[in-house]
A and B are shown apart, each in its own frame.
Chain A
Amino acid sequence: MKKRVISTLLLAAGLAGLVSPAAIAADLTDVGYIDQSALGALPGFVSANQQLAAYKAQLDRQFAAAVRKARTDADKQRISMQFQQEYSDKQNELVGPLYQRTQMAIAAVSTSKKLSIVVDRRIVIYGGQDITSDVINTVRSPAAISAPQANSQPTSSIGFVDQSALANSQDVKTASDELQKYEQSQQPIYAARFKDARNDVDKQEVMADYNKAIQDEQNKLLNPLVAQTKKATAGVAKSKNLLLVIDRADVVYGGTDITQDVQNALNK
């Protein structure tokens, strides 16, 4: 009986060996994440943002007064650009130095922990290394932060694409415009139905129909483009031996930027 049990386990082990792939690679452990809201709560950022908000309120009033005096659309555009520039300059003046110090701290901590990529905490469900407190301590320390040496960062198996850049393609813009036109054409139809609705339940039903109509049109117009982009992104990821690709907006530091490669693949 004992012999049979042993042989059963051996057979099972053999079968398990057949099921598992032969190649065993090292698991990915060089992914870090950071809670950006905690960084934003640093007194320096809070104070700078408060000053910036006060400046913006003042600027908004000046802007409204200037726009009222504008005679032409070109004047309005010029004024708008001028105020945007003023705001941007003030932002750089108030937040810029602390932002740069924070970036340096993230780079220094990442290098010391041999991380290949640091992402925003919101996109990590499990695992990864939380470097928030290390970065905060580095930012708070009075010592100067030295920039990490070039090429000191390991190559990442996680890539990223700038989705907003991809969304700027002519095809996407055309599809978005068409979708907008469709929405505008549907609104009066559903508005009429909405006015005839007798109660909230009827109204919600109209809304559900409206949303479905828009969703269907969106699927028709945009889904093929999304699928095409995903395919191109996956293709580039494969050629560069990347495991996953995430959105650039979620990347805080490091990673492999493949935006240009994906754009090239889409333009082929």
Chain B
Amino acid sequence: MSRTRSISRRAYLAGVILATAALCGCSRVDVHSQSVRGVAYVRVDDAIKADPLYPQLQQLNDAIAAINFEATLPHAPLSPAQIAAQTRVLNAQLQAAQQRANAIIQSKQQSYEKQEHDADVAAVKAAGLDPAAAGLGQQMNATSQAQAQAAARAAQQGYIQYQRSVVAQDNAALLSIEKSLGKAADDKYRALAEQYQQDENDLALRLAQQDAPTRMSLQTKMNTLALSADERKSVTDQLNALNKKETDQVNALRAQHAVSLAAYRKQLSTQTTAQIAKQQAAIQSETNAKLSQRRDQVGAQLRGLGAAPVAGGSLPPDLRQRLAQIHQNYAAKFQADAQQAVVEYNQTKNDLDRQFEALHGEDVGATGAAAKQLQDLQKRHDALQAQIQAQIQRVAVALAKKMGFTVVFDNVTAANGGYDLTNDIIHDLESQHE
């Protein structure tokens, strides 16, 4: 009996505790108190660190940092021949990318032209007309012309972009050559100037050593108190004459050196200007060749697309509308595919441009395969971070609703009140993954 009563008392107490917890809203905080006023905040950065997916995010961060770090490491300088060879490789890659983009655009153009023609034939047949009698060949030509115009616009735009980038690249190359030749000339000039300076110092020392006994003797005489004023003047004059003789000799050599240096500077300047002009001519000729080659390619591409007569023929209005719809549909598809080809080409070109800049000593970060890897890692990183943040947001919103907050902020600078929801979120995230 006593045992039954004891159990009943324990059950009663448990009930009191549970009911109290229920009335308190399952929370330690009074959301509507003076110090909270329905406001909460989340230290999102800390919540992210506590997320079970955070180690993966950290790994991606390290991988990204490793590629970036590697790109900043000093590399062995390349010889002009190596630079030229690598430039040729880059140009070949760029040309291949252009040809690839052109081929894609041309193939898409032909494929959509055929599909549109088939769809037109079907539509005309469905309307009970003979496709040939309905002048569908002309319709097809109109389609072809519209696509050709679109391709021409894209090609023209591409050519202008290419022209700009080639000119910019060649300017950069020329600047780099100017810098390098200028530096070489400066180094040569500085070396000769230092040599002359050394020679002048050596002469001054030699003369001082030669005249040392005479100078010593005169100075000793000067220290003799018994000298008359005339004698003292005579010794002073001799000492001054000695100094002047040495200074004059050194100055004469210095003047001779100054003349030589001025002549040398002029000679270097002439040489450098000539070298720069030679390189400039070579680069400009290359630029013209590249542009001319590209212009020929674009021309050939457009000739391949062919021009066509304008569509004619009288068709029933509803069929005309249907054909216009079909045309619009395929034109949009072609436009999207052509755009995609251009985007991909530009991505390749941008990377090649950066490799080119890196080749000419610019600090442009990771390029080539490393840049591609970096891009992939960055995408994965951003996706994972977004996933973690979205999960934190979901948990925060659920908790805010449950606890009755009116507003929840992300990462506040300082808090004098409000409720820090971070630990509740972390607890919830952990319990979800347990």
- Interface size (A, Cβ < 8 Å)? 57
Q: Indicate whether B39 reaches chain A with its CB closer than 8 angstroms.
A: yes
Binary contact readout B341-361 vs A (1 if CB under 8 angstroms, 0 otherwise): 000000000000000000000
- A204–B62 CB distance below 8 A: yes
Pair B38/A123 contact, Cβ less than 8 Å: no
B279 interface residue (CB < 8 Å to A): no
Contact between chains at B410 and A122 (CB < 8 Å) = yes
> Given the interface contacts A25-B32, A25-B33, A28-B37, does A126 sit within 8 Å of B59 by beta carbon?
no
| Nearest CB of B to A191, in Å | 5
B84 within 8 A of A: no
B66 within 8 A of A: yes
Q: Is B150 an interface residue (CB 8 A)?
A: no
Chain A residues contacting B35 (CB-CB under 8 Å) are 21, 243
| Residue from A12, A210, A211 whose CB has the most chain B CB atoms within 10 Å | A12
Whether A150 sits at the interface, judged by CB under 8 Å, is: no
Known A-B contacts A24-B32, A127-B408; the reply to A244 vs B415 at CB < 8 A is yes
A230 and B24 contacting across the interface, CB-CB below 8 Å: no
Q: A1-37, CB under 8 A of B: which get 1 and which 0?
A: 0001000110111011001110111111101000000
0 or 1 for each of A230-268: is its CB under 8 Å from B? (1 = yes): 100110011001111111000000000000000000000
- Which B residue sits closest to A29, measured CB to CB? B406
B24 touches A16 (CB 8 A): yes
Nearest A residue to B31, CB-CB: A27
Would you call B299 an interface residue if the criterion is a C-beta within 8 Å of the partner chain's C-beta atoms?
no
Chain A CB within 8 A of B70 CB: yes
Tell whether, in the assembled complex, residue B63 and residue A204 are in contact, meaning their CB atoms are under 8 Å apart. Answer: yes
Per a CB cutoff under 8 Å, which of B16, B39, B405 touches A244? B39
Q: How far is the CA of A203 from the CA of B68 in the complex (A)?
A: 12
**Distance from A221 Cβ to chain B, minimum over Cβ atoms (Å):** 19
A215 to chain B, nearest CB (A): 12
B16, B38, B408, B414: the one contacting A125 at CB < 8 Å is B408
B33, A24: Cβ atoms closer than 8 Å: yes
| Contact assessment for A238 and B73 in the assembled complex, using a CB-CB cutoff below 8 Å | no
CB < 8 Å: which of A19, A29, A125 contacts B24? Answer: A19
Contact A127 B406 (CB under 8 A): yes
Task: Please give me the residue from chain A that is nearest to B373 by CB atom.
Answer: A200
- Residues of chain B within 8 A (CB-CB) of A190 are 69
Chain B neighbourhood of A122, CB < 8 A: 410
**B39 engages A28 (CB within 8 Å):** yes
Q: Please list 20 pairs of residues, one from A and one from B, whose beta carbons are closer than 8 Å in the complex, sorted by A's number.
A: A12-B19, A13-B23, A16-B23, A16-B24, A20-B24, A21-B34, A21-B35, A24-B33, A25-B32, A119-B409, A125-B397, A126-B40, A157-B37, A163-B413, A187-B72, A194-B66, A194-B73, A204-B66, A244-B409, A244-B412
Q: Name the one of A8, A27, A230, A237 contacting B406, with C-beta atoms under 8 angstroms.
A: A27
For the complex, is A108 an interface residue (Cβ under 8 Å from B)? no
Complex Cα gap A234–B413 (Å): 9
User: What is the CB-to-nearest-CB distance from B13 to chain A, in angstroms, rounded to a whole number?
Assistant: 10
B312 at the interface (CB under 8 A from A): no
